[in-house]
């Protein structure tokens, strides 16, 4: 019996999605978006020099086959001449979304069986009945925001008024989300969590994927979001990889927002924090996870700190940081372990707008030999992990297939 580690580099896409033309940032289709490829090109051209310098340096990921996967997904990038030291492939998503739940559910074996509900870009963005329910739950006469926007911009724009009125700051994006920002002291962290939990059933019934609590601290001009974010996500309508492993009597450890994404379905414990802390948690489980266990991790700061903010240098720095830490992890794997590194969507920091980009993602596997896996489906990730752990994969229920 051996162990499995699934590590999601949130938003590290590799371009080449065949349906990218159907997804947009504003009025611009995602055709040609390539998160990793364009970061590599910017670094090579000396255009990502803030806090780092020169070509992108990710030797451990490249040894596993990252550059091979990039060239497979997007042939405009040259394939390396040397063989890889791991298994590598490029995965294509089926679900009609380029968001966190769509990507993670499908990586875990379940393509999203419905169309998500998205809020219009008009202002106000939310239906009157949703606004009224927020007000009822919060005990306020109104809300702030009620529009599409970036979280940091929303708290800068409405934070001072929020401190005076105690009205929650509510906003959305091109993803299927309803986000609520509240000051941890004046509004109250517990009150914010209760508000999101109370609102979630109504929005889940509308097929809004997540209600996200976005707590912040500070004073006007110096507001700062905290690590106490929580996602109240729709529960997957059918079993996924975490359930398959847990149902087989094996431990399942979650790191980062994995517990929120899967509504704790099939998960025994969760460790959260910024990416630096998450890396320590991952190293802990690489050292101590039980035989036959699954550890499922998400590193979100590629996406949240650098992709959405279109920070090419920051994204490159984070890739290099992750790669250096990965080298230490790989040395600690036991014989027979599988470590599978992938992503859930793209977020090309060179692209227009501030939203995710529709892309293929890399699939890199350490500890299981080396060579090409070829073009894959997102769901192949779950099937490979289940096969490695020797757990049964149930057939999809008819109700999920027909929704």
Structure tokens that stand for 268 in this block: 């025994």
Residue list, annotated binding site: 10, 303, 308, 344-345, 356
Task: Output helix, strand, coil percentages for the chain, rounded to the nearest 5.
Answer: 40, 20, 45
Q: Are 318 and 341 in contact (CB under 8 A)?
A: no
In sequence order, the 6+-apart residues with CB closer than 8 A to the CB of 332 are 283, 286, 287
pLDDT digits (tens), the chain, 403 positions:
699 999 999 999 999 999 999 999 989 999 999 999 999 999 999 999 999 999 999 999 999 999 999 999 999 999 999 999 999 999 999 999 999 999 999 999 999 999 999 999 999 999 999 999 999 999 999 999 999 998 889 999 999 999 999 999 999 988 899 999 999 999 999 999 999 999 999 999 999 999 999 999 999 999 999 989 999 999 999 999 999 999 999 999 999 999 999 999 999 999 999 999 999 999 999 999 999 999 999 999 999 999 999 999 999 999 999 999 999 999 999 999 999 999 999 999 999 998 999 999 999 999 999 999 999 999 999 999 999 999 999 987 544 444 4
Find the helix or strand (DSSP H, E) in which 386 lies: helix 379-389
Look at residue 150 in the predicted model and tell me its pLDDT.
87
Look at residue 74 in the predicted model and tell me its pLDDT.
97
Sign of CA dihedral 261, 263, 264, 265: negative
Residue list, annotated binding site for Mn(2+): 10, 303, 308, 344-345, 356
Question: Helix, strand, or coil here: 387?
Answer: helix
Q: Are 71 and 63 in contact (CB under 8 A)?
A: no
Q: Strand pairing of 338-342 and 4-9?
A: parallel
d(CA 197, CA 249) in angstroms, rounded, equals 30
DSSP 8-state class, residue 116: P
pTM: 0.92
Look at residue 1 in the predicted model and tell me its pLDDT.
64
Smallest Cα–Cα separation from 260: which of 215, 296, 307, 311? 296
Q: Strand pairing of 230-233 and 210-217?
A: antiparallel
Look at residue 95 in the predicted model and tell me its pLDDT.
95
Backbone dihedral angles phi then psi of residue 376, each to the nearest 5 degrees: -135, 170
d(CA 339, CA 384) in angstroms, rounded, equals 11
Where does residue 323 fall: left (phi above 0), alpha (psi -120 to 50 degrees), or beta otherwise?
Answer: alpha
Look at residue 402 in the predicted model and tell me its pLDDT.
40
Question: Helix, strand, or coil here: 87?
Answer: strand
């Amino acid at each position: 019996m051996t162990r499995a580690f699934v590590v999601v580099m949130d938003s590290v896409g590799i371009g080449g999605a065949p349906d990218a033309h159907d997804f947009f940032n504003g009025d611009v289709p995602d055709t040609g978006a390539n998160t990793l490829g364009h970061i590599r090109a910017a670094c090579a051209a000396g255009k990502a020099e803030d806090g780092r310098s020169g070509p992108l340096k990710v030797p451990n990921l490249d040894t596993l086959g990252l550059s091979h996967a990039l060239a497979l997904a997007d042939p405009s990038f040259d394939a390396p001449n040397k063989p890889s030291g791991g298994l590598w492939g490029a995965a294509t998503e089926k679900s009609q979304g380029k968001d966190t739940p769509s990507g993670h559910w499908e990586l875990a074996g379940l393509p999203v069986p419905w169309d998500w509900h998205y809020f219009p870009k008009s202002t106000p963005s939310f239906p009157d009945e949703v606004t009224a329910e927020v007000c009822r739950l919060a005990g306020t006469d109104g809300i702030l925001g009620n529009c599409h926007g970036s979280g940091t911009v929303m708290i800068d724009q409405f934070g001072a008024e929020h401190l005076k009125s105690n009205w929650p700051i509510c906003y959305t994006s091109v993803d299927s989300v309803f986000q609520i920002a509240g000051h941890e002291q004046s509004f109250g962290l517990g009150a914010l969590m209760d508000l999101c939990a109370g609102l979630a059933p109504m929005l889940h019934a509308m097929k809004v994927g997540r209600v996200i609590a976005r707590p912040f601290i500070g004073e006007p001009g110096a507001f700062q979001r905290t690590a106490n974010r929580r996602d109240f996500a729709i529960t997957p309508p059918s079993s996924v990889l975490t359930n398959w492993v847990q149902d087989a009597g094996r431990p399942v450890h979650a790191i980062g927002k994995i517990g929120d994404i899967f509504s704790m379905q099939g998960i025994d414990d969760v460790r959260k924090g910024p990416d630096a802390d998450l890396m320590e948690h991952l190293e802990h489980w690489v050292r101590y996870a039980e035989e036959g266990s699954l550890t499922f991790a998400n590193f979100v700061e590629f996406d949240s700190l650098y992709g959405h903010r279109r920070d090419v240098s920051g994204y490159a720095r984070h890739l290099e940081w992750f790669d250096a830490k990965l080298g230490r992890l790989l040395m600690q794997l036991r014989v027979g372990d599988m470590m599978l590194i992938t992503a859930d969507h793209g977020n090309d920091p060179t692209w227009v707008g501030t939203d995710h980009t529709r892309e293929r993602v890399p699939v890199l596997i350490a500890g299981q030999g080396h060579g090409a896996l070829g073009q894959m489906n997102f769901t192949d990730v779950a099937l490979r992990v289940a096969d490695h752990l020797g757990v049964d994969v149930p057939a999809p229920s008819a109700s999920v297939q027909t929704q």
